[in-house]
Chain A
Amino acid sequence: MSERTHTSRVQGSGAAGSGLVDVHRRPATWTGLWYVLPFLAFYLLFLVWPAIVGLGYTFTDRSLAGGPVSFIGLDNWNETFTDRALYESLWNTLVFTVLSVPVMVLLALGLALLTDHARRLGWFLRFSFFAPFVLPVAVMALMWEWMYNPSLGLFNGILGRLGFEGSEWLFSENTAMASVVIATAWWQVGFNYLLYLAAMQSIPKDVYEAAAIDGAGAWQRIGRITLPLLFRTTVLITILQLIGSLRVFEQIYLMTGGGPNFATRTVIQYIYDSGFVGLRIGLASSMAYVFMVLIIIASVAQFRLFSRKEA
């Protein structure tokens, strides 16, 4: 995404002279490299090196239990591409993404609009909607498991009082994924909400005043000014959310363990299951590589798609 524009900007910096591109460089020396080195060391050791070594693992039968390692060619790759469980976990990941992205974008927009208009409650609303975001995932999982508890939980208690039959929530193949999405939306929507809120509050107020003088009502102002001006923000939030949702693991692992009957097992968990539960480092590495490539393709495609639309 940004690398190309950035490189070009740096190269053209001498001529540009605008405030942003005001890169003030000294003649080529080694000084800059010294500043970059510490980060580079971390980057190479903990990111680049594992990425390279991990690719090597995919051609071996390396086990977490240790023992002799031998080269087995493409066996892991063959197994990866023919593994039904991997495709099922990819499907589950996709289902989670498709369910969660619209919810978390629209909900954030709605809550932000509410906050933007009910100004007097600003602090209270910001706290309420954003606070869940700072909760550790284990806390969030415990709270929602307790509310979802089919026999003792709050939700079925309320449903029962209203005369409805309770749901099995996390304990049924049919409802588990939706339950996880609801809990995730509650937990993570605060971030998107803040992005929207900031964007709304940066819209100059004279735009609204002009519209008000022209006789536009509150809903018209939202429809004709706020929403169109939020387009870029919406694109950004959607991209971030898509990428984030595809990487889902921890809240699902804690709430359902991937069950019932693997109905909520996502790719990251399947990689974990293969490598750490099943001890097969080589196989898990090739699965991880497949997923990494898929995510990178998805990310690049989104940036391409959205930036073309915008242009």
Chain B
Amino acid sequence: MATTTDRPAPTAVTERPGALRRGPRPDVGRIALYTVAVLAALLWLLPLLWSFATSIKPEGETTITPPTWFTADPTFDAYAQVLGRGDLIRWTFNSFVTTSIVTALTLIVCVPAAYGFSRFDFRGRPWLFALIIGGILIPPQTLIVPQFILMTQLGLVDTYWGIALPQVVAPVFVFILKRFFDAIPCDYEDAAKIDGAGSLRILWNVMLPLSRPILTAVGIFTFIGAWNNFLWPFLVTTDPDTMTLPVGMGTVMGGYGIQYAQVMASAVLGALPLLVVFLLFQRHIVTGVAGAGIKG
């Protein structure tokens, strides 16, 4: 689940001169190193490449044994078939909506909570904080039964809110954000207070701008976590019209008979949205992990 790293963490993963690069002559070691690195990376990409290779084969060629990597006549038929069914687009939309709700609400409730714990004293504060932090230890998977019953009672099964709301409870983010707020010196606030700013103004105008990297990290990880969450959306959706992408792909049969190219085409399409997000935000994700040590 989640916790934080204590060691001094870098604010960014920066390039620094390689420890092995300082030999006077190009040595065998470096050539070997780079060869191994490239091979490992290709091995790691193999499942993705193989899925793509399968997805552009004509259906008849997918069952040839032993399998071959390349096809003489590549085709995007499988993609057209999969997209033509419309399910995948629908599920992607559902994932986008529910994931956005989760991300927005998580930030909306966790940030003030962390601010409240960090900057204010009130009765029962240590007790409440302990209660919330204790929640980090409870595996949400063990609460699926009563949570589902609660959703049937609230009439939220097969709704976006039913998917999203229970995922908003993320005590670990309160903990991480509070730690971050604790580390912000009070000078900034004092200046604002002299100008007569209220606590809400200070949160908005002082704390948030100073917390941008951690907010980005929390936001990105909430987003990835919610997008890929399987168990809860799997339980709370039965109607294919409200399913998220992972759930729909995992439970609804796409078609009948032999159709491996189509299955792989849907896998490739299902992988795309977050791969794009990853490419866009790669630096933030890397620093986010480095800095916060969040695991969803």
Contact = CB atoms under 8 A, between A and B. Distances in A.
Contacts of A138: 230, 245-250, 270
Contact of B290 (A46, A48, A194): A194
B104 interface: no
B228 A244 contact: no
B108 interface: yes
B137 A296 contact: yes
A147 B139 CA distance: 32
A292 to B, nearest CB: 4
Interface string A188-217: 000100110111011001001000100000
Interface stretch (A82-90, A95-103, A172-180, A282-290): A282-290
B18 A119 contact: yes
Interface in A3-54: 3, 6-7, 10-11, 19-36, 38-40, 42-43, 45-51, 53-54
B125 interface: yes
B5 A118 contact: no
A289 B142 contact: yes
B191 interface: no
A121 B41 contact: yes
Contacts of A47: 135, 138, 140, 143, 169
Contact of A39 (B34, B42, B112): B112
A254 B17 CA distance: 44
Given A122-B15, A131-B275, A134-B274, A38 B113 contact: yes
A67 B92 CA distance: 37
A11 B264 CA distance: 57
Contact of B278 (A26, A124, A131, A254): A131
A228 interface: no
Contact of B146 (A10, A50, A137, A232): A50
Interface string B160-189: 000001101101001100000011111001
Interface in A123-176: 123-132, 134-144, 146-147, 151-154, 156-158, 160-161
Contact of B166 (A33, A46, A141, A272): A46
B231 interface: yes
Most chain A CB inside 10 Å of its own CB: which residue of B6, B110, B246: B246
B37 A32 contact: no
Contacts of B109: 38-39, 42
A39 B174 contact: yes
B175 A136 contact: no
Contacts of A299: 137
A197 B13 contact: yes
A284 B143 CA distance: 10
B62 A30 contact: no
B159 interface: no
A250 B29 CA distance: 41
A263 interface: no
B225 to A, nearest CB: 10
A2 B264 CA distance: 44
Interface in B211-247: 224, 227-228, 230-231, 234-235, 245-247
Given A53-B146, A295-B139, A11 B126 contact: yes
Given A132-B44, A254-B250, A281-B149, A191 B10 contact: no
Contact of A135 (B13, B185, B274): B274
Most chain A CB inside 10 Å of its own CB: which residue of B63, B65, B120, B147: B120
B3 interface: yes
A114 B34 CA distance: 8
A128 B145 contact: no
Contacts of B287: 198
Interface string A248-288: 01100010000000000000100110011000010011001
Nearest 7 interchain pairs by C-beta: A32-B120, A35-B116, A198-B290, A54-B146, A39-B113, A50-B146, A24-B186
27 contacts: A6-B129, A20-B182, A22-B185, A29-B121, A29-B122, A35-B199, A39-B174, A42-B105, A47-B135, A47-B169, A114-B40, A123-B282, A125-B37, A128-B42, A131-B48, A131-B278, A132-B48, A134-B224, A152-B63, A153-B67, A198-B291, A201-B14, A218-B29, A233-B7, A236-B293, A244-B295, A272-B144
Interface of A: 1-3, 6-7, 10-11, 19-36, 38-40, 42-43, 45-51, 53-54, 57, 62, 111, 114-132, 134-144, 146-147, 151-154, 156-158, 160-161, 186, 191, 194-195, 197-199, 201-202, 205, 208, 212, 218, 221, 232-233, 236, 239-240, 243-244, 247, 249-250, 254, 268, 271-272, 275-276, 281, 284-285, 288-289, 291-292, 295-296, 299-300
Given A47-B169, A49-B146, A125-B37, 10 more contacts: A22-B184, A31-B199, A42-B109, A135-B228, A135-B271, A141-B250, A152-B62, A205-B17, A281-B145, A296-B138
